[in-house]
Chain A
Amino acid sequence: MSTILIIEQILNGLQSGIMLFLMAAGLTLIFGVMGLINLAHGSLYMIGAFAAASVAGLTGSFALALIAAMAAAALAGALVEMLVIRRLYATDHLDQVLATFALILIFSESTRWAFGSFPLFLDIPNYLSGPVTLPGGIQYPLYRLVLICVGLLVAIGLGLLITRTRIGIQIRAGENDREMIAALGVDISKLYTLVFALGAALAGLAGALVGAIQSVQVGMGEPVLILAFVVIVIGGIGSIKGALIGSLLVGLTDTLGGVFLPQLFKLFMEPSAAQTSGSALASMAIYVLMGAILIWRPTGLFGARA
């Protein structure tokens, strides 16, 4: 187990965490500001990836593809908010789950109807491909480093948005007391559409960025959605800082757990049994982490104190 391997795995964990942050940030804003559980967030991720694949195929430009991904996801988000989500704010969480689950099915089948059932081609552009040599002689894919940087930039941008702008004040106030800011004259419906579209754009960006190194196919968003929910529970509902810390924790635990738990088990078990038990425990690791954090802080690391 060399240092190079350990550092490479830490970078991998950071990268998967940061991409998770893009999903979790949108989800936590929507849940925090609007009190809405949005299961369709994974579909918005998928829409971003499909839009990027289509535009990249038509124009050959990855930058255009990313912009198209964010625009398509934001548009889809805004439409969905105005047509469906608006009727759900006053309802029970369970009704919201039911309605947004239906949206997942609608989006999945529509995408399959529009694009077919086979995965689409989306590749990273040549100027971002290939490995770079980091200090210490570590070979690491350039694209993954770019993902980490983009994610951190988005985190900083969101942080500035929330703390330094008027919209940010309204969002924070809305998280605190919805009825009060409506009484104070803020146009709630426009704010909600904006927050939903913002969350959707982030999900679409994540879908496009990750789709370039994975498979762009129907149903790609649901596994990420589940992880994103774990992240916002760990980080605390409504907190962007919590989403960032939570997603990095989840990313690192998932990656490092998957690599090192089997190695740990190999110390006292024979290799194939160690491999299977280690992998099994690794896939549970993030949920064990979530449980442990909830025992310590029931509302999450940065959630509202009860």
Chain B
Amino acid sequence: MKLKSLILTTAIAALASGVSAEGIKVGMITTLSGGGAGLGIDVRDGFMLAIGQSDRSDIEVVIEDDQRKPDVAVQLADKMIQSEKVDVMTGIIWSNLAMAVVPSVTAQGKFYLSPNAGPSVLAGKGCHKNYFNVAWQNDNLHEAAGAYAKGIGYKNSFILAPNYPAGQDALTGYKRMYQGELAGEIFTKLGQTDYAAEIAQIRASGADSVFFFLPGGMGISFLKQYADSGVALPVVGPAFSFDQGILQAVGDAALGVINTSQWNKDIDNVTNAAFVKTFQAEYGRLPSLYASQGFDTANLLISALETAHPDDANAFRAALEAANFNSTRGKFEFGPNHHPIQDIYAREVIKEGDVYTNKIIGVALENHGDAYAANCSF
């Protein structure tokens, strides 16, 4: 009897240690083709840089391209969970794709770490205990822009954004902190490239400032056309329209614009300095905020894996919530709804030699959470 139970215990112990020595599979669905590919490629590169720099050989990352199409993203998510049997998912850039994929991923019991998209629904009413956002809640950078605009004294802003969840969050966020008059408010078409009509309306509106959120190619088009139009109103916006990938394509048209971001390459800490240096050495370009978000997401995951495995969901969740890792932003903590509480900086677009980049000029919001945390309960 005693021998039998001893053998049984040893066998179970062997099995258990086998399970915890087993690695983890990460499913990354991100945008690697089409107009918005730069963002997904930055997130992927930042993520893989951190994975490569860690000493672990047991993290397997499966990467797929969602082509910015919600239906493709949903199919890929199903494939990854059911056939690849991933433990953790990550990667989605666009909020409309996140809204299509994340609820079903978390409902199937998998963890989702968002390196970018942070729609308000997933921070508030639709929050889930398995969903973590390492970047920001969508409104955050826009709230910071609004706070900056209010601080500087803009009284009559013209605001525009594309008509999709992140665009709506953008204008809501700006208005929440700005609290001045609005000379005009426009929702443009997602993917629209010609802004002549909108710029004409800005010119005719009597505004004293312009706030816009137009990520990727849309922002490039708008900035070029705006600079050429002769409407010389000051522009403020979130980092999404002024990130490293876009600035080189826009050129002088972006100089002097103030944009808000939770990260910049000149944030002064050891982790960030090393990140910028190694990213540039590995990929031959300066990192953008998207790359820093991918990097931080991977490091959060690795730090959680030090203490728990996703198979033990409660322990893993607690490890994620502890956020015990070195972030490129300095100190990092999650709020109660698993979204970051962090400083958001105001940066100015400058030219360093031949390269267009950003320089921090101040802090727009300090220790800022998000407006939806109170609606979240899990």
Contact = CB atoms under 8 A, between A and B. Distances in A.
Contacts of B188: 279
Contact of B201 (A112, A130, A259, A279): A259
- The 9 residue pairs across chains A and B that have the minimum distance between CB atoms: A131-B230, A215-B217, A12-B196, A215-B220, A214-B221, A119-B249, A117-B37, A8-B200, A5-B204
Contact of B224 (A117, A131, A213): A213
Interface of A: 2, 4-5, 8-9, 12, 15-16, 108, 112, 117-121, 123-124, 129-131, 139, 141, 143-144, 212-220, 223, 255, 258-259, 271-272, 275-276, 279, 283
Contacts of A141: 196, 225, 228-230
22 contacts: A2-B204, A8-B200, A8-B203, A8-B204, A108-B33, A112-B37, A117-B32, A118-B249, A119-B217, A123-B224, A131-B230, A212-B224, A214-B193, A214-B194, A214-B225, A215-B35, A215-B218, A215-B221, A219-B34, A220-B217, A223-B193, A275-B187
Contacts of B181: none
Given A124-B228, A143-B228, A214-B193, A12 B200 contact: yes
Contact of B251 (A123, A213, A220, A223): A123
Given A139-B230, A141-B228, A4 B249 contact: no
B249 A259 contact: no
Interface of B: 32-35, 37-38, 41, 163, 185-189, 191, 193-194, 196-197, 200-201, 203-204, 216-218, 220-221, 224-225, 228-230, 245-246, 248-253
Given A16-B194, A119-B245, A214-B224, 6 more contacts: A8-B203, A8-B204, A112-B33, A119-B246, A130-B230, A141-B225
Instruction: Report whether over half of chain B's contact residues are helix, strand or loop; otherwise say mixed.
Output: helix
A5 B35 contact: no
A296 B186 CA distance: 34
A273 to B, nearest CB: 12
A124 B249 CA distance: 12
A5 B248 contact: no
B228 A217 contact: no
A9 B197 contact: yes
A259 to B, nearest CB: 5
Given A5-B201, A217-B35, A279-B163, A117 B41 contact: yes
A207 to B, nearest CB: 12
Contact of B248 (A2, A118, A139): A118
Contacts of A276: 163, 187
Nearest to A108: B33
A118 B220 CA distance: 11
Given A121-B251, A219-B34, A279-B163, A214 B217 contact: yes
Contact of B203 (A139, A216, A219): A139
Nearest to A257: B197
Contacts of A12: 194, 196-197, 200
A141 B224 CA distance: 11
A215 B193 contact: yes
A279 B34 contact: no
Contacts of B230: 130-131, 139, 141
A15 B196 contact: yes
Nearest to B200: A8
Contact of B38 (A118, A214, A216): A118
Nearest to B253: A123
A139 B232 CA distance: 12
A258 B197 contact: yes
Contacts of A5: 200-201, 203-204
A179 B191 CA distance: 43
A223 to B, nearest CB: 7
A21 to B, nearest CB: 15
Given A124-B228, A219-B35, A283 B249 contact: no
A120 B35 contact: no
B185 A275 contact: yes
Nearest to A278: B187
Contacts of A124: 224, 228
Contacts of A4: 204
Contacts of B246: 119
Q: Which of B34, B38, B228: most chain A Cβ within 10 A?
A: B228
A45 to B, nearest CB: 12
Contacts of A259: 197, 200-201
